[in-house]
């Protein structure tokens, strides 16, 4: 069954290039990003992991932990990180899970439950495994994205989405194309007098669309 928004992530223990990691312990109390890819030593995946590595300071600024996932082994991950560093001009200092038994891929609905790894597999054999989950401090799924094999992910958008999720946790919503510092939306359920008490002045665009400054 697919993981949906507000579902608690499975409590799995996974092997990584940095040793065993229990997901519930690792994710507890922190914003986390779990992202998967079809195969080590492939071009699009290498550029993606380089992008994640270059965003190290942005993850830290937001208190975000990052975990990569693929069905390759730990030894492959260790060797591949050298290529990521070379191509991405940044040290990939986050763990990568070795999901050889497909436990993570299936539990997170990155692959069908009946999927198996063929001998001599190619990236196409795990083409559905280019997924991103953003997990809240309560270990619940807050956002998920799935991309086809041929389209590299925009990790700047994932950072923006985390900003929006962390802002929304303050009791507001964010409009289309929102960036930090832009006005936010007051939820429809909040009455005008409550909105003034909580946010101060606000702009009424439509009866159901009210904007205000981003709360501190």
Question: Can you tell me whether residue 100 is helix, strand or coil?
Answer: coil
Q: Which of 3, 14, 45, 164 is catalytic?
A: 45
Q: Do 211 and 195 form a contact (C-beta atoms < 8 A)?
A: no
In the chain the first and final C-alpha atoms are separated, in Å, by 38
Half-sphere exposure of 91 (CA within 13 A, CB side): 2
CB within 8 A of 120, min separation 6: which ones? none
Is 45 considered catalytic here? yes
Cβ–Cβ under 8 Å, residues 166 and 176: no
- By annotation, the residues acting in catalysis are 45
């Amino acid at each position: 069954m697919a993981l949906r928004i507000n579902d608690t992530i499975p409590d799995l223990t996974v092997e990584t290039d940095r040793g065993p990691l229990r997901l519930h312990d690792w994710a507890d109390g922190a914003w986390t990003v779990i992202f998967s890819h079809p195969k080590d030593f492939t071009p699009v995946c290498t550029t993606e992991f380089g992008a994640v590595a270059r965003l190290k300071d942005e993850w830290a600024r937001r208190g975000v932990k990052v975990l990569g996932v693929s069905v390759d082994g730990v030894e492959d991950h260790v060797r591949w990180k050298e290529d990521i560093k070379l191509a991405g001009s940044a040290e990939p200092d986050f763990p990568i899970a070795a999901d050889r038994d497909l436990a993570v891929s299936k539990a997170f609905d990155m692959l069908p439950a009946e999927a198996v790894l063929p001998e001599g597999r190619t990236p196409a054999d795990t083409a559905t495994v280019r997924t991103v989950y953003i997990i809240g401090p309560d270990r619940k799924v807050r956002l998920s994205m799935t991309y086809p094999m041929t389209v590299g992910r925009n990790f700047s958008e994932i950072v923006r989405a985390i900003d929006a999720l962390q802002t929304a946790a303050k009791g507001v919503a964010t409009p289309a194309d929102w960036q930090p510092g832009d006005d936010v939306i007051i939820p429809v359920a909040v009455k005008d007098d409550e909105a003034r008490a909580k946010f101060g002045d606000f702009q009424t665009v439509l009866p159901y669309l009210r904007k205000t400054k981003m709360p501190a």
